[in-house]
Amino acid sequence: MASGKRDLLPGTLDMLILRTLSVSPMHGYGIAQHIKRLSRDVLQVDEGSLYPALQRLRQRGWLKAEWRRTPNNQRARYYTITAEGREQLGQEEAGFGELIAAIQRVMRGAT
Amino acid sequence: MTLTEVWNRLRDRLRRDQLTQELDEELRFHHAMLQRDQPERDARQTLGNMTSHMENSRDLWSFGWVDDLLQDIRYAARGLRSRPGFTIAVVLTLALGIGANAAIFSIVDRLLFRAPPMLAHPELTNRVYVAQSDRGREGVWPGMSYGRYLELARWTTSFAHTAAFTTQTMAVGVGDDAREMQVAAVNASFFELFDAPATIGRYFTSREDTPPNGTPVVVLSHALWQVRFGARSDAVGASLQIGPTIYTVIGVAPAGFAGLSTTLPPAVYIPISSYAATSGYQGEPGDEWWQTYHWNFAQMIAERKPGVTVAQASADLNNAYRRSYAVQRDASPEIPPVERARPRAIVASVLAERGPNASRVAKVATLVGAMAFVVLLIACANVANLLLARALRRRREIAVRLALGVSRARLLTQLLTESVLLALLGGAAGLLAAQWGGGALKSLFLPQDAATGVVRDPRTLVVAGGAALLAGLLTGLAPVWQSRRADLTNDLKAGAREGGATQHRSRTRGVLLVVQGALSVVLLVGAGLFVRSLWHARDLRLGYDVNPVLIAELNMRGVKLDSARAVSLRQQLLERARTLPGVERAALHMSVPFWKTLDGRNGIGVDLRVAGVDSVDRLGEFYLDAVSPDYFTTLGTRILRGRGIGEQDAGDAPGAMVVSEAMAKVLWPGADAIGQCVRVVTYGRTAGSTPCTYVVGVAEDIKSQSLSEDRNYHYYLSSAQFHPQQAGLFVRMHGDAGPQVETIRRALQALMPGASYVTVTPFADVIGGQMRSWRVGATVFVAFGALALLLAAIGLYSVIAYNVAQRTHEMGVRIAMGAKVGDVLGLVVGQGLRLGIAGVVIGGTIAYSGARWVKPLLFQESARDPAVYALVAAVLLAVAVVASYIPARRAARVDPNIALRAE
């Protein structure tokens, strides 16, 4: 793995996708770019995990998908977060916050 | 998984192709964007990954086991299509087994398990039977008098509803439209037992069902309403003649309502009071039809209150019955005291065939059900054998697949899928077979039934489906068990020829064959026993001829003739009958054996007095008939001594009587009966005022109550001297009487006055009912036994033939070493014979130890008849020899050169 890139913690990809889509509907490539940009290139989501994740979230009813035109007039599938998706995002954020805080406490105690 | 997710997955599975295409497009877009933004990336690498991305997503919109299953089914179907001979053999074998089960189930279910339709509380509803003892023997009857019913209903507290009912065959309609139909005469409360609102109109009320006369109103069955009244709503208010009376239609029962009948549904429902008032019963004042204890025409049905057990209800009813009996004895002190009569009421199943004791036909049906199951087992064993042989042939295929990493669980599922698929095909074919063959079976068991076939009966469909699944699992088990211990390396190396593990495999197949043989022996022994019973019953001398005789019954229906005119009408009919072509003789009768017989004492209160005998009726039942000259020659009953009733026994001549041989022996032991005096004291007269009737002849004994009766005695008076209220004709034809029923009926009908009519029935139909349980048993056992034998023969043949084919090489070696044709034949046939002997021994033991259950269903036949066992053993061994001889011949003709070279 190239330096500057980090593997995602397991289970966080779903949260990142939901968070990204809570800003505005986006296509898959847009989601990957958005995460990459905001994480300053640390998090790189490859399509091998992104698209199955999108399908899974859609099946769980947290996303909706529809074909639209991009500003450049290309056909692309746009994903929109649903009400259930927002609820799920809230739960995951809370859980994630607790997890990070707990990890930080442990790490501080160790140093 | 949440429900939403399952739902979405299922939807995705159905539009998988579309989703794949969309994902493909999405990924292309993604890569196009990547190309634009990062042209330095290796396009080939990304595109190469695409396939695996697709696979990952595809997993999401497929359903693991569903897809596996679909794939297994496709695979199995392909395999079966490629071997049509094998598939057809298996499907037909299973079809026979499953079809037999479905057909039998639909009958046993109707007879013994299914409550009458629309009954509100089947689990709380019971038929009530009454029992009384007479000279130490207890008799059980469904019928009781209406007076008895009223007291049982009044003096019990266990029941929410009670009702009296009777079902009679009566003429419905007038003129050409008149047909004999089932008529249910019921209490108004009868309908409260059901949850069956009238389709149109209403049911009758208790006001319309009050003694003495009731109101002539009728509720039509749905079927009659459709046929007779074209399902018009103005049928309510219409008139319909039933028997002697014109009824007014007040309502129509819903479709499917059949009262308590499981076989022949009533056409109409009338108040029991209206029926009883016009039935012809003539009671004395104070002993009218609703008061008497003598006219036992009514049956009782009762619905227990919730929470009341059968035992509590029985105790309650018993008290009421004893009280009622005490009241009866106060009025007629001549009946035996309670301690001797021991009156007892029995609360029994609502299904008539279950009764207080299951009827013999019901018992035979149960036995046949067990037999059908055995046939299914045999079919399964056969199919398991075929599948095993197939699995052995596919050993290499299976080894290769295992070596390629297919999981064993998956492989087993696949084998099971194949056998279940076969069994379901067999089940479908079996249902078709049951639909056709079931009709024949049904006409044996439920001769008057017009119900729908098995394919439209959901309960039968469920059972057939269950039988098919069971068969699939049972038959699949054997090859699965085998492949469990598949030895990979060995199987991969081995050619089509059997390797070392074979010994074990042919042992499994041998065991299956022995099981088949044993079960066939059991069925064949049963067949033999029933066939012999039927022969015994047929050969039994009944004391009269059956086949050439017709019974003509006169139904007076509203026409009231005085005694003299009744006598002259009968005389006219008799003379007319004698002149008809084809008629040999004709005579008048009052009784018909097995149909309507008259116990002189209990029936019409006739008391016999014989000098030197204290109480004649202690000796047994004395059945009375009043007959015209020529009676004995018409019926073919032999006169052993003296003469029959003749022309000389006219009204003014001294009373004449013919007695049965047994009666002569019991009344005058050691003395000559001819010329003895018997005083026939009729109801209301005394012995002193009754003149002698002299015995003029002794006739052979006849069977009139059951085929195995004893202590039943018969005497015959002259109909010119003892004028019966009702009489009919026996007509003896030249040859078989059956085909001439209609000619005789028409000729006699022409003489009948008013609305009265004649029915003509072959005597053979009446007697046939007595033979029914044995005929049913014999027919079905023989059919199933033959089926089982055929299956066993096929199984034996296929296994031996397969073994011979596998051992071609060995045979070649043997012949090359100088073995004779006879040696090879002996080797192979011996193998078949050993299996056959094992089957005979095991099956014989099973049949022998099960004998006591079959015994009560047989007639003058030991359930351990050695002749039957010997014959069955011979048949099975012969079949074993023949089935193995054919492949043995092939083995003996093996050319050693070819056999040795073919490797």
Chain A CB within 8 Å of residue B52 CB: yes
- Dump strand ranges (E) for B178-280: 179-186, 200-201, 217-220, 239-242, 245-252, 268-271
Does B503 score more than 60 pLDDT? Answer: no
Task: Give the pLDDT confidence score for residue B637 in this predicted structure.
Answer: 92
Q: How far is A77 from chain B (nearest CA, A)?
A: 7
Structure token pair of residue B575: 């003379």
Residues of A in contact with B62 (CB under 8 A): none
Nearest to B4 among A61, A74, A77 (CB): A61
How confident is the model at residue B760, as a pLDDT?
Answer: 84
Task: Convert the pLDDT of each residue in B561-606 to its tens digit.
Answer: 777 888 888 899 999 999 988 899 999 988 888 777 777 766 667 7
Residue bearing tokens 């093996």: B894
- Choose the closest CB to B30 out of A47, A56, A58: A47
Q: What angle do CA B503, B792, B443 make, to 5 degrees?
A: 155
Whether residue B627 is predicted with pLDDT greater than 70 in this model: the reply is yes
Mean pLDDT, range B614-629, rounded to an integer: 84
Q: Output the pLDDT for position B176.
A: 60
- Please indicate whether residue B435 or residue B656 has the higher confidence score (pLDDT): B656
pLDDT at residue B769 greater than cutoff 90: no
Per the CB < 8 Å rule, is A60 touching B2? yes
Average pLDDT over residues B401-412: 75
**Can you give the C-alpha Rg of chain B in angstroms?**
37
User: CA B551 to CA B729: how far, in whole Å?
Assistant: 6
- In sequence order, the 6+-apart residues with CB closer than 8 A to the CB of B337 are B329
Residues of A in CB contact (< 8 Å) with B are: 27-29, 32-33, 47-48, 51-52, 55-56, 58-61, 67, 74-77
Looking at CA atoms only, how far is residue B45 from chain A in angstroms? 13
> Please, is B254 exposed, middle or buried when counting C-beta atoms within 10 Å of its C-beta (0-12, 13-18, 19+)?
middle
Per-residue pLDDT tens for B35-71?
888 777 665 555 556 666 666 666 666 666 667 777 7
Q: How much is the pLDDT for B470?
A: 84
Q: Which is more confident, B821 or B514?
A: B514
The reported pLDDT for the residue numbered B41 is 66
Highest mean pLDDT: which range of B91-95, B490-494, B500-504: B91-95
Distance, in angstroms, between B408 CA and closest chain A CA?
A: 30
pLDDT bin (cut points 50, 70, 90) of residue B610 is: confident
Compute the nearest-CA separation of A85 from chain B (Å).
Answer: 13
Nearest C-alpha of chain A: how many angstroms from B17?
15
Which residues from chain B sit within 8 angstroms of residue A76, using beta carbons? Answer: 26, 29
Residue in chain A closest to B29 (alpha carbons) equals: A76
Higher pLDDT, B849 or B178: B849
Question: How far away is chain A from the Cα of B57, in angstroms, using its nearest Cα?
Answer: 5
Is the CB of B30 inside 8 Å of chain A's CB atoms? yes
Which residue did the predictor score with more confidence, B550 or B19? B550
Lowest mean pLDDT among B219-223, B377-381, B719-723, B895-899: B895-899
Q: Is the pLDDT of residue B494 over 60?
A: no
Asked if B45 is an interface residue toward chain A (Cβ–Cβ < 8 A), one would say no
Q: Does B55 touch chain A (CB under 8 A)?
A: no
Q: Residue A107, exposed/middle/buried by CB under 10 A (0-12, 13-18, 19+)?
A: exposed
Q: Which residue has the higher pLDDT, B577 or B86?
A: B577
pLDDT grade for B557, boundaries at 50, 70 and 90: low
Q: Which of B43-47, B147-151, B509-513 has the lowest mean pLDDT?
A: B43-47
User: Taking a C-beta distance cutoff of 8 angstroms, is the pair B156, B318 a contact?
Assistant: no
Mind listing the pLDDT tens digit for each residue in B676-724? 999 888 777 777 788 889 999 999 998 887 776 666 889 999 988 887 7
Residue B447 pLDDT > 70, yes or no? Answer: no
Chain A interface, best mutation among B29, B36, B54, by max A CB count within 10 A: B29
Residue A48 burial (CB count, 10 A) = 14
Which of chain B's residues have a Cβ under 8 Å away from the Cβ of A63? none
Proportion of chain B in helix, strand, coil states, percent, rounded to 5:
55, 15, 30
- Rounded to whole angstroms, how far apart are CA atoms B124 and B806? 64
**Mean pLDDT within B10-22:** 80
| Exposed / middle / buried, residue B665 (Cβ in 10 Å: 0-12, 13-18, 19+) | middle
pLDDT digits (tens, 9 = 90+) for B786-799: 777 777 777 777 77
Task: Sort out which chain B residues have CB atoms less than 8 A from A56's CB and list them.
Answer: 60
- The nearest alpha carbon in chain A to B6 belongs to A59
Please determine, for residue B501, whether its predicted confidence score (pLDDT) is greater than 50. no
pLDDT at res. A3: 43
**Cβ contacts of B32 on chain A, cutoff 8 Å:** 74
**Confidence grade of residue B899 (pLDDT, cut at 50, 70, 90):** low
Q: Share the mean pLDDT of chain B.
A: 81
Residues of B in contact with A74 (CB under 8 A): 29, 32
> In terms of C-beta density within 10 A (0-12 exposed, 13-18 middle, 19 or more buried), how is residue B232 classed?
exposed
Amino acid B643: pLDDT: 92
Give per-residue pLDDT as tens, A45-103: 877 788 888 888 888 889 999 999 888 888 899 999 999 999 999 988 888 888 888 98
Residues of A in contact with B52 (CB under 8 A): 48
Q: What is the pLDDT of residues B157-205, one digit of tens each?
A: 999 999 999 988 787 887 666 777 889 999 999 999 999 898 899 999 9
Check CB contact under 8 Å for A61 and B49.
Answer: no
The type of residue at B785 is G
Residue B486 has pLDDT above 70, yes or no: no
Residue type, B864: R
